[in-house]
Chain A
């Protein structure tokens, strides 16, 4: 294949859109089966309680009810969940609460009935006798030796704890002119896909097998989790995943699939369950809240030599993501900076909050918030400009590939140019003048600056840092199959999934280039089906992995098909393969252009004419390719590991104004300069940047899952859990930089998560800057007018999380 690209690089309209704009697409709730019944769940009203007794008799007797399951049934019929990363000391977790409830909203009883309303009616008739226990909600309190235990069987609330010294940290501190200390926290929030979680399960007793339509972002892993729960072969589970109405790392709850499958087994009918919004906010999953303490060793010129980190991650009452926020934070913890040494101590702690999931950027938003808050603090300590402190510490363009102390290798980038471009776009100097003039009149105008790496693709060997070297799951890769149809069009199947990123369009662009077809001649089978789509255990849509894995797998399969096609054409044309050219759906002989044959004609013979000589020894024009990223190895003996596999980056500059009386925060301008290497479809890329940035801005200013001291979630509707509307968000301006990755076939890097990683830090920086006249430092999120007002009114100098600790101190005086 020559390097020429006809389709890749163009901002083409998406192939997905016509369907979505006319028939609305085909989401899980649009599917049905004859005889299907509907599920509803009785959910725990307590954050922590023993289940003394459950009386389901009235629900069972209710007309239209087909099956009722409790934790007892689940514990009898399924095995406890194994976490994706198996813990050495794992609690027993089932699809439905067994003997105890551990968070408000945990499913306690599942009911299948002829329709959803009947199932909900029957749920009202279930009586559960609880013995409420005092909950543990705060991760720091959960670490105390006298803290109540969320899972008694593991003897503590710590799922995982480890330390990582990389480089000579003590030497760096000995050389330091100044030590800067910071403590920052991040809250619980989620990108809340507009389509809630859904599943439909069918059970076939004769073969003890299940067909399941539903949501996941890691189809192979979840298929195996479900198979393990029922003690059946993975071949007895067929998993079908229609396009999802957003996922953002949230749709990874195999326990929900197991519960529906068990209901289908008991009901002897297909069972469908579509989560409602309240259930989704209560129990689908949140980004982990966390507490980060940092200490930086700094030279007088602003060089940051080393930082010590200590992070406590609140996992809630789940085990599925144990340690993962921590490890993904750790692996990117030097961000864009030339730090020589770091140390990191991480705790993953269980509490009586909703289990956490991998919300957009998992761990990295807090990484960026913490490190960028620290850079602002260093600038303040040294009385340096916040842009200048970054320029003095950036990894320089000539240092790539750059190995970080923890063993990551940054492939390429130009961080100084990226920030320069962002500052030029916003006209930093003019804004600073405007700010100074405004301050004289009492105007609170702030400029926020944040930069970050945006990793793409994760090496799942990082789980070995938790579970040890015997863990089976490792590496990163993807699978693809390309079939040239008898009419000369192509169909692409991959183990990746569709949740709105336009992957079908991007794959069609790539494969059309490889096979010399028109983009309209390439279709992508977006509904994943484990019976037809190839997969590897790392398959799916997560971790920004598409750019360097799904793409390469599809290219690999397309090239195999191309080779088969050309061999067949050579035989038909009685020419040499090396003399053939493939373009515009036609194969011609170089130098004899009139001698040629249509791709459709060759393809047609490949399938129909089995009596032909078969150049490959087999009919058809179909090929499978498994791509295994060669960089994704196991951790070394010093726990150093290339966790993430490619590094995009971005600089954000935000301009905010805080109302001096009401503390309303307005984002006046927002600039993003991002660099994701070569772009397959700049239109799609731009949309990803906008959407992720909006998530980050909203996480910083609006969204929070707030619990009261009894563990009741206070934000269980979109009236309380505030999502941004079009009127709440600024226009997102920007431009791109393009430093191609040397590691991917197309020079691409990931792009789906970066905005959500950087924006919370940029907003915090901007609000802090606006509040300079009041001397308030921002150490937590979200920044809301009422809390800011309270902080300022009570004379506080830091906007930080205090509530839990002060309550704790009140209840437990020293």
Chain B
């Protein structure tokens, strides 16, 4: 067995230092070593997007990265999105528009929507659909997700 690797990274603004097995995936590290359980595992082969997080400001699939690859990075998970009790505008929009049902895809979906709106603050329905095509939702048929993202965009509060 190769030697464990020491890593230091910022997760939701908190500095973390840890020693990980080289084969430890980033999502398993976040969930089981750090205890941030909101990032979910849906397929472990990079298709479903449930494990989507932000790494240095870009969305990545944390099931396809090793924890060791995140050494030195800034990581944002859904746990880091709300400001205390105040939900992020996207979280509010998802709640208002019934854009989640079982909620398993939601953390990844919200972070993909955040990246989309940062790049394209006023997307059309079609652009939202294409922008979120890396995240599967098995419950909603996406209709209310598209509505929520459009509503958050039109409020203009997403940063």
Contact = CB atoms under 8 A, between A and B. Distances in A.
A684 interface: yes
Nearest to A684: B98
A659 interface: no
B95 A17 contact: yes
A23 B81 CA distance: 10
Contacts of A731: 125, 143, 146
A690 B143 contact: yes
B34 interface: no
B140 A690 contact: yes
A693 interface: yes
B11 to A, nearest CB: 14
Main secondary structure on chain B at its contact with chain A?
A: loop
B129 A727 contact: yes
A755 B141 CA distance: 11
Contact of A500 (B94, B136, B139): B139
Contacts of B100: 17, 20-21
Contacts of A246: 101-102, 104, 138-139
B98 to A, nearest CB: 5
B144 A194 contact: no
A194 B129 contact: no
Interface string A58-99: 000000000000000000000000000000000000000000
Contact of B96 (A13, A248, A274, A502): A13
Nearest to B145: A726
- Size bracket, chain B contacts: 35 or more
A11 B31 CA distance: 34
**Most-contacted residue by chain A among B96, B132, B140, B143 (CB, 10 A):** B143
Contacts of A398: none
Contacts of B130: 726-727
Contacts of B101: 246, 500-502, 687, 691
Interface stretch (A165-173, A413-421, A717-725): A717-725
- Size bracket, chain A contacts: 35 or more
Interface in A226-253: 243-246, 248
B79 A690 contact: no
A148 interface: no
Contacts of A717: 43, 45, 47
A732 B103 contact: no
A195 B98 contact: no
Interface stretch (B54-62, B67-75, B105-113, B151-159): B105-113
B128 interface: yes
Contact of A24 (B23, B42, B44, B107): B107
A731 B47 CA distance: 22
Nearest to A698: B141
A500 B102 CA distance: 4
A18 B95 contact: yes
B126 to A, nearest CB: 8
Contact of B44 (A13, A276, A687): A276
B133 interface: yes
Interface stretch (A25-33, A125-133, A327-335): A25-33
A713 to B, nearest CB: 15
A244 B139 CA distance: 12
B102 to A, nearest CB: 3
Nearest to B82: A22
A327 to B, nearest CB: 27
A726 B50 contact: no
A718 B102 contact: no
Contacts of B43: 277, 717-718
B41 interface: yes
Contacts of A21: 78, 87, 91, 94-95, 100, 103, 106-107, 110
Given A719-B47, A726-B129, A726-B146, A244 B40 contact: no
B53 to A, nearest CB: 12
B141 A194 contact: no
A245 B102 contact: yes
A84 B116 CA distance: 47
A635 interface: no
A17 to B, nearest CB: 5
B37 interface: yes
Given A719-B47, A726-B145, A18 B87 contact: yes
B38 interface: yes
B144 A22 contact: no
Given A21-B91, A245-B104, A694-B142, A726 B132 contact: yes
A270 to B, nearest CB: 15
B78 A22 contact: yes
B117 interface: no
B87 to A, nearest CB: 7
A723 B87 CA distance: 30
B48 interface: yes
A191 interface: yes
B96 A194 contact: no
A117 interface: yes
Contact of B45 (A30, A195, A718, A755): A718
Contact of B95 (A14, A26, A245): A14
A473 interface: no
Interface string A114-131: 000100000000000000
Contacts of A13: 95-96, 98
Interface string A1-25: 0000000000101101110111111
**Considering the complex of A and B, which 5 residue pairs feature the smallest CB-CB distances, nearest first?**
A24-B38, A500-B102, A694-B141, A20-B103, A245-B104
17 contacts: A13-B96, A21-B78, A21-B100, A21-B106, A21-B110, A22-B91, A24-B38, A26-B37, A194-B42, A194-B50, A194-B138, A195-B40, A243-B102, A694-B141, A717-B47, A718-B43, A729-B142
